[in-house]
Amino acid sequence: MISKLVNAIKEKNAPIVVGLDPQLKFIPQQILDKWYKELGYTLDAVAEAFFEFNKGIIDSTYELIPAVKPQVAMYEQYGIPGIIAYKKTIDYAHEKGLVVIGDIKRGDIGSTSESYAIGHIGSVTIGENNIKPFDEDIVTVNPYLGSDGVNPFIDVCNKEDKGIFVLVKTSNPSSGEFQDREIDGRPLYEIVAEKVVEWGNTSMDGDYSNVGAVVGATYPEMGVILRKLMPKTYILVPGYGAQGASGKDLKGYFNEDGLGAIVNSSRGIIAAYKNEKYSRFGDEGFAEAARTATVDMINDIRENCF
Amino acid sequence: MISKLVNAIKEKNAPIVVGLDPQLKFIPQQILDKWYKELGYTLDAVAEAFFEFNKGIIDSTYELIPAVKPQVAMYEQYGIPGIIAYKKTIDYAHEKGLVVIGDIKRGDIGSTSESYAIGHIGSVTIGENNIKPFDEDIVTVNPYLGSDGVNPFIDVCNKEDKGIFVLVKTSNPSSGEFQDREIDGRPLYEIVAEKVVEWGNTSMDGDYSNVGAVVGATYPEMGVILRKLMPKTYILVPGYGAQGASGKDLKGYFNEDGLGAIVNSSRGIIAAYKNEKYSRFGDEGFAEAARTATVDMINDIRENCF
């Protein structure tokens, strides 16, 4: 799978991913009103509004980008209708030829991790039928439970040509509480990074591994260290834009081949029309604003990282 | 919420929780056949079979136990129909007066963790409506992202009188890969435990905190240490039965008041009829077998822990 993502990044010349993380406050009022009128003040109305919004963003950006990353929490917040909108978003992104990174941060033990892996990137066999329940291409995984929790995902990656990104150093302010604590003189995130390399060696796909890592854009000095520690690991970089990082912080996340990292922006793209810089587009132009913000982000990274 | 759980434990005199973790191989053939006949080899058929199976287990055990713990991964594996069965299981357990611990092991940052918290133990406001999307009473939470990831859950606990159990030391063989690594001479799980105490102080409910901890039954010597380190923290103890632990391993997880821990068994109860010890019940008697295994587990813990 990672080679498919790498090819898409090269083809679009854009190492970025758009985070489809809808929140009520990001959805233009005319879309909400339309669905409230049709379905009342219900979970179903919000779910339909989320999907219509996502479709608008995807339609206006898919030619520019290799991948989207829906954050399942935003959908799960609205219960089963929300999760239906998550699944419809995955399917619609696939129709448009995009790689779908499900930001699910799952992680459990043994057969439980296996269930998550099968449900999201694998397939279940029921009688004579083989069904892919969610069908993301890549998902994010939490490593706290160790190899027992991660290996079932890798088994599915190898069987079905899929990928994972394992949390190594997250972008949030308190990520250091545990991740930065020193073990034998080295921070925990480096210990996790070494495990990612070890796990990754069991699922190589071209020059890179199907086992990638999440390293936040908000810690560029750690990005440089982790880049060197995990030379064949693709890095998913959250934290660009709304969380404070910009292109000049990101050079160190890339390898010399210009590959090795894919940078996510969520709010900065999908809610661009709420930003003064793009306010000329108005509510009705939310998708156009997202497209323009995407072009600006790609240019920022091209200019500062290569 | 923790006081509600404590009261239920006292009332039933049973510090146990039944893990509702359905897998195809645990479901009696007659239930599967019935639903395959009605709905074909589909996700919907499996979901209906899971729910019928769970209803049987709940009906035969609810008088004996304070709580159930559905593991969402098992349902998520079967996509949206599976998650509908998860929700129906929550609602049915509530009808029977049980506390529902959703084993979801979610954890993310800021607004994303908030979305998980609201979706599972909180409520969303849509126009004039206030809706509880999943409505578990307590959920499990992964601490790897630090306070940013956990505090949004605690905020919802305080607002809606709910609870969480934070992963501290998990029951699986490789849990030590990161959790046991030493930081300033102490294992990571102790550092996490100290944070659990700190977080817990912000959400006390009677003698215990709404912020509990997960500590696996398979590491009893660590259980003793963690019990002392977290005196007001309720401990959810997985790993009993199928994972190898029994009542004699568990005394150290309880406080001197006979409270402070709740022990989970999943396969050992729900698939008891597949165990030679209870095979006399046969496939048709799966629920009766579960009831008998529940009684045996309660007696084992009463005899060995108090």
Q: Do the Cβ atoms of A78 and B133 come within 8 Å?
A: yes
* Closest partner CB to B127 (pick from A21, A41, A71): A41
Report CA-CA distances (Å) from B299 to A173, B25, B68, B137. Answer: 47, 28, 18, 26
Q: Do the Cβ atoms of B143 and A144 come within 8 Å?
A: yes
For chain B, the average pLDDT equals: 97
Cα separation, A244 vs B193, whole angstroms: 31
DSSP 8-state symbol, B230: -
Distance from CA of B223 to the nearest CA of A (A): 17
Above 90 in pLDDT, residue B194? yes
Cα separation, A104 vs A87, whole angstroms: 13
Q: Is A205 left (phi over 0), alpha (psi -120 to 50) or beta?
A: beta
Q: Which residues of A touch B131 (CB under 8 A)?
A: 42-43, 79
SS3 assignment, position B181: coil
What pLDDT is recorded for position B114?
97
Q: Do the Cβ atoms of B42 and A195 come within 8 Å?
A: no
Q: b/e map of A235-262 (b: 16 or more CB within 10 Å)?
A: bbbbbbbebebebebbbbbbbeeebbbb
What pLDDT is recorded for position A241?
87
Q: Do the Cβ atoms of B129 and A191 come within 8 Å?
A: no
Cα separation, A286 vs A65, whole angstroms: 17
Single out the residue of A96, A17, A83, A24 nearest to residue A56, CA to CA.
A96
Rounded to an integer, the average pLDDT of B175-197 is 95
pTM for the model: 0.97
Cα separation, B251 vs B233, whole angstroms: 16
Q: Which residues of A touch B84 (CB under 8 A)?
A: 80
Q: Do the Cβ atoms of B146 and A176 come within 8 Å?
A: yes
Cα separation, B227 vs B233, whole angstroms: 8
Confidence class of residue B205 from pLDDT cuts 50, 70 and 90?
very high
Q: Do the Cβ atoms of A77 and B118 come within 8 Å?
A: yes
Beta-strand pair A186-187/A182-183: antiparallel
Above 80 in pLDDT, residue B195? yes
Cα separation, B229 vs A294, whole angstroms: 49
Q: Do the Cβ atoms of A116 and B77 come within 8 Å?
A: yes
What pLDDT is recorded for position B50?
98
List the catalytic residues of B: 105
Q: Do the Cβ atoms of A133 and B178 come within 8 Å?
A: no
List the catalytic residues of A: 105
Give bridge partners of residue B263 from the DSSP assignment.
B16, B237
Q: Which residues of B touch A136 (CB under 8 A)?
A: none
Cα separation, A142 vs A169, whole angstroms: 11
What pLDDT is recorded for position B244?
82
What pLDDT is recorded for position B57?
98
Both structure tokens of B224: 């003793």
Q: Which residues of A touch B149 (CB under 8 A)?
A: 172, 174
Counting one residue from chain A and one from chain B, the pairs whose CB atoms sit within 8 A come to: 216
Both structure tokens of B189: 């799980």
Q: What are phi and psi of A171, to 5 degrees?
A: -85, -5
Both structure tokens of A181: 């604590």
Interface with chain A: mutation pick from B21, B51, B178, highest number of A CBs within 10 Å: B178
Q: Which residues of B touch A42 (CB under 8 A)?
A: 126, 129, 131
List the alpha helices (DSSP H) in chain A: 2-12, 29-39, 43-61, 72-76, 79-95, 110-121, 147-160, 176-179, 188-200, 220-229, 267-270, 286-305
Cα separation, A284 vs A29, whole angstroms: 9
CA dihedral (A33, A34, A40, A46) positive or negative: negative
Q: What burial class does residue A95 get, using C-beta atoms within 10 Å of its C-beta: 0-12 exposed, 13-18 middle, 19+ buried?
A: exposed
Q: Do the Cβ atoms of B79 and A87 come within 8 Å?
A: yes
Cα separation, B52 vs A243, whole angstroms: 46
Q: What are phi and psi of B146, to 5 degrees?
A: 85, -170
Rounded to an integer, the average pLDDT of B36-45 is 98
What pLDDT is recorded for position A77?
98
Above 90 in pLDDT, residue A70? yes
Summarize pLDDT for A185-208 with one digit per residue, the tens. 999 999 999 999 999 999 999 999
Beta-strand pair B182-183/B186-187: antiparallel
Cα separation, B297 vs B249, whole angstroms: 13
Single out the residue of A306, A221, A297, A205 nearest to residue A259, CA to CA.
A306
Q: Are A164 and A211 in contact (CB under 8 A)?
A: yes
Distance from CA of B10 to the nearest CA of A (A): 30
For chain A, the average pLDDT equals: 97
Specify the range with the lowest mean pLDDT, choosing from A114-118, A180-184, B28-32, B58-62: A180-184
What pLDDT is recorded for position B243?
77
What pLDDT is recorded for position B260?
98
What pLDDT is recorded for position A243?
78
Q: Do the Cβ atoms of B23 and A111 come within 8 Å?
A: yes
Closest CA in chain A for residue B111: A74
The count of C-alpha atoms lying within 13 angstroms of the C-alpha of B108, restricted to the half-sphere facing its C-beta, is 21
DSSP string, B12-35: HT--EEEEE---GGGS-HHHHHHH
* Closest partner CB to B41 (pick from A112, A118, A128): A128
The radius of gyration computed from the CA coordinates of chain A, to the nearest angstrom, equals 19
**CB B86: neighbour CB atoms within 10 A?**
29
The count of C-alpha atoms lying within 13 angstroms of the C-alpha of B151, restricted to the half-sphere facing its C-beta, is 11
Summarize pLDDT for A237-293 with one digit per residue, the tens. 999 987 788 999 999 999 998 999 999 999 999 999 999 999 999 999 999 999 999
What pLDDT is recorded for position A293?
98
Interface with chain B: mutation pick from A25, A105, A136, highest number of B CBs within 10 Å: A105
Q: Which residues of A touch B115 (CB under 8 A)?
A: 23, 73-74, 76-77
Interface with chain A: mutation pick from B48, B71, B77, B131, highest number of A CBs within 10 Å: B77
Which are the contacts of B98, defined by CB distance < 8 A and separation ≥ 6? Answer: B8, B58, B62, B65, B66, B67, B68
Distance from CA of A222 to the nearest CA of B (A): 16
Both structure tokens of B8: 């239920």
Q: Which residues of A touch B76 (CB under 8 A)?
A: 115-116, 119-120, 133
Interface with chain B: mutation pick from A144, A192, A266, highest number of B CBs within 10 Å: A144
Summarize pLDDT for B86-141 with one digit per residue, the tens. 999 999 999 999 999 999 999 999 999 999 999 999 999 999 999 999 999 999 99
Q: Which residues of A touch B112 (CB under 8 A)?
A: 21, 71, 73-74
* Closest partner CB to A172 (pick from B80, B146, B171): B146
Cα separation, A169 vs A185, whole angstroms: 17
What pLDDT is recorded for position B234?
98
* Closest partner CB to B144 (pick from A110, A142, A184): A142
Distance from CA of B257 to the nearest CA of A (A): 31
Single out the residue of A185, A1, A20 nearest to residue A91, CA to CA.
A20
Q: Do the Cβ atoms of A172 and B145 come within 8 Å?
A: yes
Distance from CA of A87 to the nearest CA of B (A): 8
The count of C-alpha atoms lying within 13 angstroms of the C-alpha of B219, restricted to the half-sphere facing its C-beta, is 20
Summarize pLDDT for A290-300 with one digit per residue, the tens. 999 999 999 99
Q: Do the Cβ atoms of B112 and A74 come within 8 Å?
A: yes
* Closest partner CB to A167 (pick from B23, B80, B144): B144
DSSP 8-state symbol, B201: T
Confidence class of residue B241 from pLDDT cuts 50, 70 and 90?
confident
Q: What burial class does residue B249 get, using C-beta atoms within 10 Å of its C-beta: 0-12 exposed, 13-18 middle, 19+ buried?
A: buried
Strands (E), chain B: 16-20, 67-70, 99-106, 124-126, 129-131, 138-141, 163-169, 182-183, 186-187, 204-205, 208-209, 211-215, 235-237, 261-265
